[in-house]
Structure 1
Amino acid sequence: MNELQNFTNGIFNLDIKVEGEEVLFSAEQVAKSLGLTQKQNKSGKIYESIRWETINKYLPQLSGEIEKGSFISEPMVYKLAFKANNAVSEKFTDWLAAEVLPTIRKHGAYMTDAKAQDVISGNGLADLLLQAGNQIKQLELEKSQMKPKALFADSVSASENTILIRDLAKILKQNGIDIGEKRLFTWLRDNGYLVKKIGSDYNSPTQRSMNLGILEFTENTHVHNSGKITVTKTPKVTGKGQIYFVNKFLQDLAS
């Protein structure tokens, strides 16, 4: 189904299409929603242009460049959101995850309520039932196989970029795991991925985590008014770690 659908909530406007089982998003509108734009002055008029060079840097493509008219996959949208890392991007991804994607997937045929009603009231009811039946069979097959899926497996498997623990919590939530940043920190400490003992290394990646290549850290030096210097360590999740933890949580959920 390649029919273009438009979603808006008064703040964001987004065109979406579905090809096979993949949901694709207008790259231009995603960029605007995430604030990946810049102001340009042309002949005394201010224009807002998309930072295509930055977007292509964040999302290196095997062939061709992302440009006006391009559509990008769901993992790419979230990767751009993490890179944007601003208050607007968080609101956008929340709207996407809580409203847009559930609406698309609600009927199993990737239809909005209005579109589904049109089909039911017309001559396409048999096709809709057949499509729904195929969806049920697919869900039953996936359940029997219990194969975990990683939302960002394609986009981060070869990435050298790292993310914060709070961003990992968002990825897990988008994969159906009910967990937030604080609970994830607790889980990581209790399961030996972060240092649990109170002290200078508290919440730092354990040696095990670093040996696995799933966590690393950055050091930040703070100079207090008293002249005292403290060093804090911020844990970061590697591309390999993002896939590792999504798979682990999904496996635990399935067991």
Structure 2
Amino acid sequence: MDNKIEVFKNEQFGEIRTALIENEPWFVAVDVCRALEIGNSSQAISRLDADEKMITLISNEGNKRGNPNMTVVNEPGLYTLILSSRKPEAKAFKRWITHGVIPMIRKTGGYMTDSLLERIQKEPAVIVEFAQALILEKNRVKALECELNTAKPKADYYDAFINPDDCTNIRTTAKELKIPERKFVQFLLKEKYLFRSPSGQLLPYSKDSNAGLFIVRDFVTYCYTGSQTYFTPKGKEVIRMKFQKKCGEELLPKIAR
């Protein structure tokens, strides 16, 4: 089955072709390399881990350059390419992708781009499909707002009484939960709470379900700059329940708050 492509255009970075595969956004690798001015795109793509890239069949409409089989990268793969770029504007590119492209793909399964408008002109039925996606998203937002209103008193209490210093790094959190650190990290990667950067740092995905679970602190040493992920008290409790449900292991009854 071929994957339909949506093209995102930006005056600074040009065109980036994307595909929604199993409800996750994927990006055409050569487009990302071009936008980031990565000279040897083949070499950069070859360095990605196997789970960060794949070859997929692109629809003829989204691929007018001959070969329908193209390499696409997921979010971790995208971030790996961004970090490998020496272009000063790489940070701005990442912000456009993470704050504009990805949220719109996840909300509607598409984006009102020029390519989508062309599809609607050729296939009027597409607008019905797009409208249905918008209706579903609107209903989902309403449901979330109701949940938010119900949870607000508890959230206010949490904000007032939880000390940010209660946040702990991965190793300490694993010890608190009585889980071997290696097993804990494997679980976080498998469940897509975290991904490993090219430098080996474990960082959280930028998605709604991770909101409030982690904080990332930057640090600078004499010869190294990096980031470290910390679990909030809320994050510890969410992960504790998820791990217990997935792995069937009885953990500590509750994280101390």
Instruction: Pick the structure with greater CA Rg.
Output: 1
Q: Give the alignment's TM-score, normalised by structure 2.
A: 0.48
